[in-house]
Chain A
Amino acid sequence: MGLESRVDVGPERIRLEYDRGTIVVRGLTQEIPPLKWDPRAKCLRALAYKYLEVKRVLELLGLEFEDRVLSPIKGSIGTASLKSLRSYQEEAVEAWLKAGKRGVIVLPTGTGKTMIAIKIIAQVNEPTVVVVPTLELLEQWRLELSKALNVNVGVVGGGSRELSFVTVSTYSSAYLHAEEMGDKFKLLVFDEVHHLPSESFRQIALMSAAPYRLGLTATLEREDGKHVDLLDLVGDVVYRKSVYEMESKHLADFELVRVYVEFTDDEKRKFEKLYSTYRDFLEKRNWRLKSLQDFKRLIMVSGLSREARRALIAWRDARLLVLNSVSKLDILRDLLKKHQGDRILIFTELNETVRRISRMLLIPEITYKTGPKERATVMELFRKGVYRAVVTSRVLEEGVDVPDANVAIVLSGTASRRSFIQRLGRILRPAPGKKAVLYEVVVKDTPEIVISKKRRRGLVGS
């Protein structure tokens, strides 16, 4: 193209382009919703997810335009080796396709949502990014996708930044790189899609021009009510089945055993002293700690008053005492002895406790501090049976698959939320001829002082 023709002021052709999370329309000056005039760049602009709408409007007005928005990653799915789906999984796939390749599928944990997504990705056969909440899930999805679809799966997150025809990313990395990723994919898959409506994560959806979108979750509803925004970001709920509607054979069955332990006298004394410091502080202010919100308030105030800080430290130490109680560790020892041939998952909330158990009993640990490489090694050796136990503070938070763990030991503060335990239990895989079993180890007669964010989240929608 000669320079003259561009410098000269003939009527410009209407051009649609992608610009860092937005769609830019050049050669047109009228504001037509959803397009807005951008005085900074002297062009019209809309958020990238309005791509289809912008195209529709321009076509409706009979305007001719050149579409340069998407630069999809080239490639295709290899010879996919898909397991045959269960009937409800087939139904979910059909429902999503029928809804125009957009929408949310709601199914309980442990019902094979990954299989549904894989089937959809294979069927659509367009560049796809799968967005997941944690690094564990990242690794798990990467393995399953490359196995089932026979492709090299790109990874964005955990220090890696490789884009491929099929790519997996964490929500945080997809948020950070939304500008660069927004024009490269045609299908977005959001695992645990209830995370998406948060202020920052929603930008992954807003800044992408991908026309096809799939959301997966077991717990759609959010406490803040923002799940209604998913209609705009991903699409309507196209398929939904509750635990009760599912046939029981699809869910793993497990036995729940609650084990009570008692403080030693010394521990009891210490605990009472610490607990009263904390309780007196609250009583003086007439506070009742009912929720995470209240707890946050305490932390905020603690930045201001020394008394509050002291209360907070007392609370923390009391909690540590409960979690690290000597008798509790004794029970853990007994349980480990009892389950010699099994695959055991030990869950406790505090990283310090995880490390303590790992060091003392020489059991591999996974915390949020564990690097991706070590994490992958631990998971793999656990799967292979070289490691027979793993102690962790965070897996399972979002339904991470731990194949072949048939025993779980939860060293909780006091009583755990039922929904949390249910969820954990569902992830266990019974060994042949044996029922999976979940132990919950609880200190007797201590007030409820452990408020777990993770477990509260587990409550949502179940």
Chain B
Amino acid sequence: MLPSELLRVKRRGNKILPSFASLSHENEYASSLLIDVYSEHVGKTLRELDEAVKEVEDQLEDLDYHPKFVRGLVELLNRAITTERPVTKVPPDVARRTVFSVSSERGFAITNRDRAEVLSEASRRLGVPVEDLIKAFEASYEDSEVIIDFKAPKPVELLRQYNLSLLQTLMFKATSMTIIANMTGAEAKSLLRTIKRFGLMYMAHKEEGPLRIHIDGPASILTQTRRYGTRMAKVLPTVLHLKTWRIKAEIIHMDKRYTLEIDERYGDLLPSKPSIEEKFDSLVEEEFMLKFRAFSMGWEIVREPEPLIVDGTVFIPDFALSKDDLKIYLEIVGFWTPSYIEKKLKKLSNVRDAIIVAVDKKLSCAKEVSLALKELSNIKLVTFEDKLKLSDVLPVLRELEKRKAVERREEGLPRPTDEEGLRAYLSRMEEEPLKKVLEVLKDFGIQDMYETQKILRKHGLVIVWRSLDQSDAIVKRLYR
């Protein structure tokens, strides 16, 4: 990230892009020239480095490099050095206090002679030679610091780092950002963890094709704000290592709105991060996967499969189990805090896909969990003790296979149930008078107002009251 005055952008209509530095020989030359200056100054003071850097900057400018580009590289290199205060015989603050006090007592260092007298009096009081006193006095100026280490980047890497910083600096001005990418469960988990850690919020969508994660902050739905831009900039690097990705961001630059769109085709200009290693949430999961692979009977197991979208949030089951065109997810509910379980159950109750939920009997609330889950038709409940065994899960899989075989024999799809009809009706809806909706719902056996609100909400719909009269109210889609 760079100071905003070093930002350079290209604008065209309402599109905006950072002015990326190409990985050309010319740019590599500038990059290596600067890196050399820094390498040569290890052991010297910042003041000496600054002077040398200024000279190179002037030189590069005469060669027609953009001064903001050169300054940007310098900014990044400044972060790669470690400095130390010079060692002094007396602490710098003591030296300064003594010098300034003596100076005030004597009516300041008006002439050179006064100055010499002040310094020698101060050195006498502190019992150190004048030379050491002056060194200590100067030491508190930041440019007296000594460079003790420089982590030299490769010239091309510095250019890539510069491009990423430029992109992030533009992202500071973002009001929202959308990440569009195919990702594995592990990748999605890591991304969502980052989003949460920075106090951001997201809304996920998926309709054929890649996952779309729209990111902004708590206050974003209430006021247009760039408050979360800095944090979105920090989310950026976690996306770059994905195979395919696209980022879309709404930017406010110089009081105008722009759209920033960038994808993996820019990947070479940007640094790539090592991909995320596989990590298991618990031992139970790891053991189960190994056993399953050994005795699978034709079933395949994928850990942290592609994310499912549940009501706008992402849900990543622990496993996906598949055989031919059969697929079922498996979620292991191990030993966790009640509030975590509560959240998990809320999510599970909204999943539409078939899922096996394995509950640890040791769980203090195992009974309640089981009760709550039994109500839900898409969920197959199994319980286990200590470890989830293959024998706990296999009966469910066998039953599935049997049922599928029967279906095939009957050569026909099952008749749509009431529930499916209702779902189809609601998912098509954009805006409808409440009165009409209530009538339809009544046909499906839903009369209770609370139930109505709940089911509407589940489908992304809300009731908008225009007055206290029900006949004025409408049902409106908020999201899909």
Give residues in A with beta carbon < 8 Å to B.
2-4, 6-9, 11, 19-22, 29-32, 36-42, 45-47, 179, 199-200, 203, 206-207, 303, 306, 309, 333, 336-337, 340, 355, 360-364, 369, 374, 377, 381, 386-389
Q: Does B97 contact A (CB under 8 A)?
A: yes
Chain B, range 395-418, C-beta contacts under 8 Å to A? none
Partner of B372, one of A8, A39, A306, A362: A8
Say which one of B24-32, B197-205, B282-290 lies at the interface with A: B197-205
Give chain A residues whose Cβ lies under 8 Å from the Cβ of B142: 369
Complex Cα distance, B116 from A360, in Å, reads 11
Chain A contacts for B119, CB-based, 8 A: 362
Asked if B140 and A362 sit within 8 Å, CB to CB, the answer is no
CA distance A226 to B103 in the complex (A): 47
A7 engages B223 (CB within 8 Å): no
B312–A9 touching, CB < 8 Å? no
> Would you give 21 A-B contacts (Cβ < 8 Å), ordered by A?
A2-B368, A3-B341, A8-B372, A29-B453, A38-B221, A39-B478, A39-B479, A40-B203, A42-B457, A45-B222, A47-B222, A303-B68, A333-B111, A360-B109, A362-B102, A362-B103, A363-B103, A363-B104, A369-B142, A387-B101, A387-B104
B108 A362 Cβ-Cβ under 8 A: yes
Interface residue? B297 (CB, 8 A): no
Does B338 touch A at the CB level, under 8 Å? Answer: yes
Number of interface residues of B (CB under 8 A): 61
The answer to the question of B462 belonging to the interface, with a C-beta cut-off of 8 Å to chain A, is yes
Closest residue to A38 on the B side, CB-wise?
Answer: B221
- Cβ-based interface call for B227 (8 A): yes
Distance (whole angstroms) from the CB of A76 to the closest CB of chain B: 31
Does B365 make an interface contact (CB < 8 A)?
A: yes
Report the bound CA distance from A207 to B199 in whole Å.
Answer: 14
User: Is there contact, CB below 8 Å, between B221 and A203?
Assistant: no
> How far does the Cβ of B449 sit from chain A's closest Cβ, in whole Å?
10
* Contact yes or no, A337 B221, CB < 8 A: no
Measured between beta carbons, the chain B residues less than 8 angstroms from A363 are 100, 103-104, 108
Complex CA gap A161/B311 in Å reads 38
B368 adjacent to A47 (CB under 8 Å)? no
| B368 in contact with A7 (CB, 8 Å) | yes
Known contacts: A362-B103, A362-B108, A377-B93. The answer to whether A40 contacts B368 by CB under 8 A is no
The answer to whether A364 and B96 touch (CB under 8 A), given A7-B342, A9-B454, is yes
Contact with A along B216-239 (1 / 0, CB 8 A): 011101110111000000000000
Residues of B within 8 A of A3 (CB): 338, 341-342, 365, 368-369
Q: B342, A6: Cβ atoms under 8 Å?
A: yes
Q: Which residue of A lies closest to B100 (CB)?
A: A364
Contact A389 B225 (CB under 8 A): no
Q: Is the Cβ of A7 less than 8 Å from the Cβ of B372?
A: yes
Q: A3-B341, A8-B372, A309-B67 are in contact. Are A377 and B97 (CB under 8 A)?
A: yes
Q: Which of B199, B223, B464 contacts A179 (CB 8 A)?
A: B199
What CA separation (Å) do A6 and B365 show in the bound complex? 12
Taking CB atoms, residues of chain B closer than 8 Å to A47 are: 219, 222-223
Residues of B within 8 A of A336 (CB): 107-108, 110
B312–A40 touching, CB < 8 Å: yes
Give the distance in Å from the alpha carbon of A20 to the alpha carbon of B462 in the complex. 24
Extra contacts, 17 of them, besides A40-B202, A303-B8, A361-B108 (Cβ < 8 A), are A8-B372, A9-B454, A29-B457, A30-B464, A31-B462, A31-B464, A38-B221, A39-B460, A40-B312, A47-B223, A203-B227, A303-B66, A337-B107, A362-B115, A364-B100, A386-B104, A387-B104
Partner among B227, B312, B371 whose Cβ is within 8 Å of the Cβ of A200: B227
The CA-CA distance from A155 to B61 in the complex, in Å, is 45
Contact residues in B for A388 (Cβ distance below 8 Å)? 104
Which residues of chain B have C-beta atoms less than 8 A from A39's C-beta?
203, 312, 460, 478-479
CA distance A40 to B214 in the complex (A): 10
10 A-B pairs with least C-beta separation: A362-B103, A39-B479, A388-B104, A362-B109, A3-B365, A20-B218, A4-B368, A7-B372, A364-B100, A3-B368
The distance in angstroms between the C-alpha atoms of A36 and B97, with both chains bound, is 58
B444 within 8 A of A: no
By the criterion CB–CB under 8 Å, are A29 and B103 in contact?
no
Is B219 a contact partner of A206 (Cβ separation < 8 A)? yes
B295 CB-CB contact with A under 8 Å: no
By a CB distance below 8 angstroms, the chain B residues around A381 are: 97, 100-101
Q: Which residues of A contact B140 (CB under 8 A)?
A: 374
B465 contacts across to A, CB distance below 8 A: 30-32
CB pair A29 B463 closer than 8 Å: yes
Report B440 CB to chain A, min CB distance, Å.
19
A303 contacts B222, C-beta separation under 8 Å: no
